[in-house]
Structure 1
């Protein structure tokens, strides 16, 4: 599931070192409590690489459209999210026109519809958020640490921000359409001639709207300069265009086929925007008992078919509508927020040091041995790159909020997000929030560990 944008990132990574050895971390792996909410997410990620103009994802009704199969007929009303993640490439190399990404909203009703934009961000990989090498663990209080556009977008949304290029509200008259996004993915002057754009928008609509993401090359003025497409030109693509190409790899069925698994990329409406979970001992409990000294347990994150880490739990969001040649589920849950509460309880008779970590073990479906497998020297491929918000109370019982940027490679055990000195009988609430970033590769785990007693 390594994305296209990572192909040149890996080429820039550090030289090959000594062979890695697997390390088994003996522990219990638990399914994640809670579930995704029912807020629909418009998820436009296929094809990731766009070489020709066309429709990326349309939830418009097929009536009156030249290519009815390009339209999935899904109305939005109330809360919904829009996620888009696409790449442009100069092909052939002399074709340096900017590719524009357009997101259009349509009001099919007889009354004015108001669409409130709660949070929103859209960034390019060049120059907004280049893929740079970063430490595995960085304090990120101002949100200025990121590598890649998906990372930067998710950091902004986690912090509740709306980028200045977005208004706080769009009004759509009856029977009309408005552009929510009309931005370029330029390639001129870049090496390689490749660029990407990631976008996430959280919305609230007063009435029914349809949405579509579209790709069109910049229009050319008489003097040879570029201009952005206008609403009429976008509507023409929507009404008369076909699905953009080339298409991504067609996914294999979710059931085991004995053949290599192809997850495919997502193009459709996903069921869910946020996974809320209260991590406790059992459904009737109000707290999470810490592990015994020297022990640990983990909760699986972003599990998917073929990668449940022995839990049997599939967290990948279901598709409400999709194109037949795209992913069967939202593998990776890009743009979906995890909000996890851990009401920790020290039930021992002595003080304990307890830490909470995010980790990226080797992907497994069924655990051959009880525990998770890591690499003593993590692989070169970055599997998670994003900011995590941690809230807790310090030893003076003062509330603390920290934003921590993580870069984890395949097989990396990771460092503690927070370490607490808990007295005997103490209870302490830890809250973890993050948006699963594009360019990440699942699964991960959230691990609670208790330091071994010194002898």
Structure 2
């Protein structure tokens, strides 16, 4: 019989598991620039300051005339199709100050006629309790949209499915020379430990006249009994007229072409482009995409950006038509932008080929220093992508399939096949790949077409 030893002796004697050594794997292959381009739909992009601790104006496209802080108003009217994207975090400055921060989005009709704004799709969610950052597998079928981690992930998932959350009306009418609230929602922290919470919002809108927009941050007002209430339209309007930019301000970006370390900054401005549509083909003169040779692959960059072009020499970041001087020069990351990619695959060989399609998160590079994409095994600890993608294609039986797949990828993660297609000689198969680039993701990613080398 073994003598009884103190528990701490066992603990000391148990060897600590040796962590798996991380290796870098180079996947020799071509990375192609993504065909197509962003559309011209303007996007009200409110993401700076990301962490909001002082009340004020987050982003205003109102005219500066008559406003106390003229530099806070960018004078950009919207008409027709436009989007509103907002992604902000409330973080208590001390344990004694746990007031609820409200996010308000206000639209103003400057004309002498009523303006109608259609809310085509819209969603807004909190980190807590709506969409906590939970651990999820790398790949999960998500047919009902119930799989998500984080508010940005959940919002993009809803918009991808064409939904309008029930808290949003289908339409609002703004009387002449008046304003209306499009959003007036809390970011509570009082019951959370640590006291920090975030809210992500995306709205696709269409107006039949000119409107100005503003996103604003204000702490809850107090009722006579000490309870909190949401700010009124009049209180939001007063903040817009007399307030300054909200704070604290984010780190200022590196000027373009400055060289050295790149600080991207956070976005606060109007970006140009809501959707990127493309047909991935061999050349503009043909209507097919030839599959790679057996055992080989090629990729297309997704959300490539300055200093992260993956050898494509392509920056996909949406340009900013107006912005604040201390915020990002481009909409790096393309948060909230929808990619609609068609892949008309063609097996131009005389043998059956097995083709896989993957989303991957390689190590970020501007030029491919190793002649291909670099991955880590095991991947790094940092999560670089969490979101749902949609695949539409005909399977090997010829049956049409529509699948929603939720992905979680770490830095350097090679990913798993989203779909496997067994293509006979001469077979043509159209695959459509769609997703909205989620907030809290870190670009770039790649879409890879791989010819699997089947072992005999």
TM class by smaller structure = over 0.9
Residues of 2 paired with 1:47 and 1:400: CA distance?
Answer: 42
Cα distance per residue 1:166-204 (max 9 Å; x no partner): 000000000000000000000011011000000000000
2:110 aligned residue: 108
Q: Does the 8 Å CA contact 2:354/2:454 hold for their aligned counterparts?
A: no
Q: What is the deviation of 1:255? A: 1.0
**d(CA) in 1 for partners of 2:18 and 2:383?**
15
Residues 28-427 of structure 1 correspond to what in structure 2 (within 5 A)?
28-258=30-260, 260-427=261-428
Say if 2:26 and 2:372, in contact at 8 Å, map to a contact too: yes
Superposed displacement of residue 350, structure 1:
1.0
Q: CA deviation at 1:453?
A: 4.3
Give the Cα–Cα distance (whole angstroms) in 1 for the partners of residues 62 and 282 of structure 2. Answer: 45
CA drift of 1:367 comes to: 1.1
Deviation string, structure 1 residues 18-60 (Cα, Å, up to 9, x no partner): 3311100011110000000000000000000000000000000
Which residue of structure 1 aligns with residue 23 of structure 2? 21
1:17 to 1:81, Cα distance in 2 relative to 1, 3 A: farther
Paired residues of 2:99 and 2:189 also in contact (CA < 8 A): yes
TM-score with structure 2 length normalisation?
A: 0.95
CA contact (8 A) 2:107 2:212 kept: yes
Q: CA deviation at 1:396?
A: 2.3
CA distance in 1, matches of 2:169, 2:82: 17
Stretches of structure 1 that go unaligned for 5 or more consecutive residues are 1-14
CA distance in 2: counterparts of 1:310 and 1:257, whole angstroms: 17
Task: Report the structure number with the largest CA radius of gyration.
Answer: 2
- The structural deviation recorded for 1:94 is 1.2
Distance 2:303 2:124 in 1: 23
Counterpart CA distance in 1 for 2:228 and 2:366 is 50
Return the alpha-carbon distance in structure 1 between the equivalents of residues 197 and 223 of structure 2. 23
Cα shift at 1:254: 2.1
CA-CA distance at 1:261 after TM superposition: 1.3
- Unmatched runs of 5 consecutive residues or more in structure 2: 1-16
Q: Distance in 2 between matches of 1:84 and 1:244?
A: 14
Secondary structure of 1:416's match? coil
Q: Supply the distance in 2 between the matched residues of 1:287 and 1:218 (Cα, whole angstroms).
A: 56
Q: What is the CA distance between 1:16 and its match in structure 2?
A: 9.4
Range with greater deviation from structure 2 (325-334 or 90-99): 90-99
Q: Which residue number corresponds to residue 11 of structure 1?
A: none
Q: How does 1:444-455 map to 2 (within 5 A)?
A: 444-455=445-456
* Cα separation, 2, equivalents of 1:217 and 1:452: 59
Question: Residues of 1 paired with 2:178 and 2:225: CA distance?
Answer: 32
Q: Per-residue CA shift, 1:230-269, capped at 9, x if unaligned? A: 00000000000000011000001121432x2110000000
Give the ranges of 4+ consecutive aligned residues of structure 1 lying more than 4 Å apart after TM superposition.
Answer: none
3-state SS of 2:319 partner? strand
CA deviation profile, 1:432-453 (whole Å, cap 9, x unmatched): 0000000000000000001114
Kept after mapping to 1: 8 A contact 2:62/2:77: yes
Q: Contact between 2:136 and 2:408, CA under 8 Å: does it hold in 1?
A: yes
Q: Deviations over 1:318-352 (max 9, x none)?
A: 00000000000000000000000000000110111
Q: CA deviation at 1:289?
A: 0.3
Q: Secondary structure at the match of 2:418?
A: strand
Match of 2:9 in 1: none
Q: In the superposition, relative to structure 1, how do residues 207 and 16 fare at CA in structure 2: closer, same or farther (>3 Å)? A: farther
CA RMSD between the two structures:
1.0
* Aligned 8 A contact 2:57 2:215 in 1: yes
Cα distance in 2 for residues equivalent to 1:53 and 1:409: 35
Tell me the residue number matched to 2:13: none
Counterpart-to-counterpart distance in 1, 2:429 and 2:295 = 19
* TM-score normalized by the length of structure 1: 0.96
CA contact 2:351–2:425 (8 Å) conserved in 1: yes
Deviation at 1:395, TM superposition (A): 2.0
* Map of 1:431 onto structure 2: 432
SS at match of 2:158: helix
Structure 1 CA distance for aligned equivalents of residues 370 and 286 of structure 2: 29
